[in-house]
Amino acid sequence: MNEQNLTAQLKDIKPLLEIPDNSYYIYWGMIITGSLLLLGILFFIVKRVWENRKINLAKGYLKKLKAIDWKDTKHSAYEATRYARLLATDDRRRELFSQLEPMLEKFKYKKEVEEVDQDTLNKFNLYVQVSDESI
């Protein structure tokens, strides 16, 4: 009898219902969204650091140009050419550098060089002034 009573009670139990489970998709959606957000933030940080690096490099090059001592003419001509070339990023500075470079060439490839002439120094100082204004 106890068994009949038990089966009568079990007839009232309904089968399990299928509950839709979207937690798997929500989990991966949150991971992908978080990753994209993190990559976006990282991109803007790297971009800002890169832009600041360019500005700082240009300021450093300009500082080295201003610090050139023309007593050692040959070494100074090489140094001026190197840093002036690195600073020649816009049209005006490229044009001035193209005029300055041949003037510096005559001091570079000889064993013995004379002192820097005033025309070359004036062109160099003009280049430094234009570079200083544009940075």
More confident site: 6 or 115: 115
Backbone dihedral angles phi then psi of residue 93, each to the nearest 5 degrees = -70, -35
pLDDT at 126 over 90: yes
Helices marked H in the chain: 2-10, 23-66, 73-87, 91-105, 118-134
Which pLDDT does position 110 carry in this prediction? 84
In the 8-state DSSP scheme, what is residue 67?
A: T
pLDDT at 8 over 80: no
Q: For residue 2, name the pLDDT band (cuts at 50, 70, 90).
A: low
